[in-house]
Chains A and B, each alone.
Chain A
Amino acid sequence: MNGSAERSRREGSAVEAEGLVKTYPKGVRALDGVGFAVEAGTVFGLLGPNGAGKSTTVKILTTLTLPDEGRALVAGHDVVREPMRVREAIGVVGQKPGIDPDATGRENLRLQGDLYGLPPRVARARADELLERFRLADAARRIVRTYSGGMQRKLDVALGLVHRPEVLFLDEPTTGLDPEARADMWEEIERLAHAEGVTVLLTTHYLEEADRLASRLAIVDRGRIVAAGTPDELKSGLRGDTLVVELAVSVNGRALDAVGRVEGVREASVDGRVLRARADEGARAVPAVLAALEAAGVSVAAATVARPSLDDVYLRHAGRTFGAAEAEDVRR
């Protein structure tokens, strides 16, 4: 690659999206003005429940579908006007595995090399290298159908790396993986970003995953970005600790009134039998909160204090907890 082009890209954004709007035929507005920028060489997380618009965003950025409005640059190229240039620069690991189950692991990788125009000798060497790296060398000649779920996912990621992309899109890379395979995948993603300088755009609905991998993230809800920043910035935007009190029975009004009067406790909300609130010093607030509830005749099953989590960030910006958003999506 051209050295100066490489440098200028490194200094700027690998992905820039602005005002992306996409409406599907049945009038479903999947994206309602999404915009963000991803600094080259970093891991960027798009976090949101299913149906929030993450996958549609990825489809637009990877030239699979066209936006109705807005524009996006990936690796310096416009996704609508120069889709072929974008395709040459990106690797994509979709939500559906893109592997061919009727071919062997090596055949899958060799075909991918051909599609990206690698010279045959390079394509062969690259296939072997990736099989080795993802510990699939022993299974290279086996039909992919016989691979375990974790092995298939690894091959899927390997396919996205064959042509050494500048920008790698990972759409929910660990969904459906067991904890061990998930830990492997996390390590691999970290290695890609830190050792190889690949820009990674990751979508996930696991808060833990976004927290661990992404240096910056954007929270997506109902087709909009509701918050963006580093995980720490987002969390420190919430002052104090999170107080979660499990009530023995659900008694919304009385419990809220009681807790609202305790000094240093803010943003109290009740969802069924779970009461949430924020406090500057959680450990000190707990006895006062419990006493207030006791006095109001509300019995308590359990109480916990935690540092703010991304779930709290989500609650703050989307107006509902992550779990509630997911459940709502299932009902839709």
Chain B
Amino acid sequence: MRLAIRQTLSLTKRLLLALWRQPWFVAITLVQPMIWLLLFGALFKKVIDIPGYHGGSYLEFLTPGIVIMSALFSAGWNGMSLIDAIDRGVMDRFLVSPVWRGALIACGVLNVAAVIVIQSLVIVAVAFAAGASFSVLAVLMMLALAVLLGAPIAALSSALALVTRQEESLIGAVQFVVLPATFLSSGLMAANLMPGWIRDVARFNPVNWAVTAARAVASAGTDWGLVGEHAALLAAMLLLCGWLATRALRVYQRAV
């Protein structure tokens, strides 16, 4: 058990170091969400004037949405590092070692979690600088929910990477899913202003579970029942996706 944890942490360190050594990639990962925040913030500023929109500044409405959306993006690309490891033969070296198989999936999930935490803190800091304000508890809960959405998506991305073993397929799948999943949620637009059918679809969209929960903790009079329910749904999704990813590892092993 202790060895499994040490293996997982060592493998996570490898990914974080590799990330750290690509300063351009780090910069883009951090700057892009800021641009989303400021761009959408300016573009949709008048949304709050529409009748039916409740609450204060659009920036405070938007920030949880951008935090979750950015988490989704970062997590979606997680499988790329696995494909890289497969192509380089690094994956095969890990597989012939007595490493706990779960560590090969968990390291990517932890790596993504670390990226999401840093990325979300940057977004919140920019929001603060632009005039929004959140309680410490709200910020911590937003981080937790972003990680709780990112973790299962990261595991799913790993599973997809192991089954397809092709960068092109993973890029295609991520692009196919990520933007629609964002727009089929209340990430950028209040739920009561969305068309009815989108609202119906959004109820089954994990991105929407995370967004509505993050927005609930960020606003006054938090509905903790809703937050708990959505967090539980995301946790269940993490278990399912983690299981899928370890199955995918077996598929990979049969295919080589």
Contact A114 B6 (CB under 8 A): yes
- Which residue on A lies nearest to B9, using beta carbons? A114
| Distance (whole angstroms) from the CB of A155 to the closest CB of chain B | 12
**Hey, what's the 0/1 contact readout for A86-114 against B, CB within 8 Å counting as 1?**
01101010111111111100010011101
List, in ascending order, chain B residues with CB within 8 A of A96's CB. Answer: 88-89, 92
**Hey, what's the 0/1 contact readout for B230-256 against A, CB within 8 Å counting as 1?**
000000000000000000000001111
Contact B97 A97 (CB under 8 A): no
A65 within 8 A of B: yes
Which of A92, A103, A107, A117 is in CB contact (< 8 Å) with B3? A117
B90 within 8 A of A: yes
| Distance (whole angstroms) from the CB of A104 to the closest CB of chain B | 9
List, in ascending order, chain B residues with CB within 8 A of A94's CB. Answer: 89, 92-93, 96
| Distance (whole angstroms) from the CB of B232 to the closest CB of chain A | 34
Contact B256 A103 (CB under 8 A): no
Q: How large is the interface on B (under 10, 10 to 19, 20 to 34, 35 or more residues)?
A: 20 to 34
| Distance (whole angstroms) from the CB of B98 to the closest CB of chain A | 4
Binds A, one of B10-18, B45-53, B125-133, B134-142: B10-18
Could you tell me the distance between the alpha carbons of A63 and B14 in the complex, rounded to whole angstroms? Answer: 24
Which of A59, A87, A99 is in CB contact (< 8 Å) with B97? A87
> What DSSP secondary structure best describes chain B's contact surface?
helix
Contact A98 B99 (CB under 8 A): no
B26 within 8 A of A: no
| Distance (whole angstroms) from the CB of B116 to the closest CB of chain A | 21
Q: How large is the interface on A (under 10, 10 to 19, 20 to 34, 35 or more residues)?
A: 20 to 34
Which of B14, B88, B93 is in CB contact (< 8 Å) with A107? B14
Could you tell me the distance between the alpha carbons of A169 and B10 in the complex, rounded to whole angstroms? Answer: 25
List, in ascending order, chain B residues with CB within 8 A of A100's CB. Answer: 14, 18, 88, 90
| Distance (whole angstroms) from the CB of A200 to the closest CB of chain B | 16
Contact B254 A98 (CB under 8 A): no
Contact B254 A143 (CB under 8 A): no
| Distance (whole angstroms) from the CB of A229 to the closest CB of chain B | 29
A288 within 8 A of B: no
Given the interface pairs A94-B89, A98-B90, A100-B90, the reply to whether A62 lies near B98 with Cβ below 8 Å is: no
Given the interface pairs A62-B96, A159-B93, the reply to whether A111 lies near B21 with Cβ below 8 Å is: no
Given the interface pairs A96-B92, A114-B7, A115-B7, the reply to whether A107 lies near B17 with Cβ below 8 Å is: yes
- Which residue on A lies nearest to B95, using beta carbons? A64
Contact B98 A92 (CB under 8 A): no
- Which residue on A lies nearest to B7, using beta carbons? A115
| Distance (whole angstroms) from the CB of B201 to the closest CB of chain A | 37
Could you tell me the distance between the alpha carbons of A111 and B107 in the complex, rounded to whole angstroms? Answer: 13
B224 within 8 A of A: no
List, in ascending order, chain B residues with CB within 8 A of A97's CB. Answer: 88-89
Contact A98 B93 (CB under 8 A): yes
Contact A114 B88 (CB under 8 A): no
Could you tell me the distance between the alpha carbons of A102 and B84 in the complex, rounded to whole angstroms? Answer: 11
**Hey, what's the 0/1 contact readout for A19-31 against B, CB within 8 Å counting as 1?**
0000001000000
Give me the interface of B with A, judged by CB distance under 8 Å.
3, 6-7, 10-11, 13-14, 17-18, 21, 88-90, 92-99, 253-256
Give me the interface of A with B, judged by CB distance under 8 Å.
25, 59, 62-66, 84, 87-88, 90, 92, 94-103, 107, 110-112, 114-117, 143, 159
14 inter-chain pairs at a CB distance below 8 angstroms, sorted by A residue, are A25-B255, A59-B256, A66-B254, A84-B98, A98-B88, A99-B90, A100-B14, A100-B90, A103-B17, A110-B10, A115-B97, A116-B97, A117-B7, A159-B93
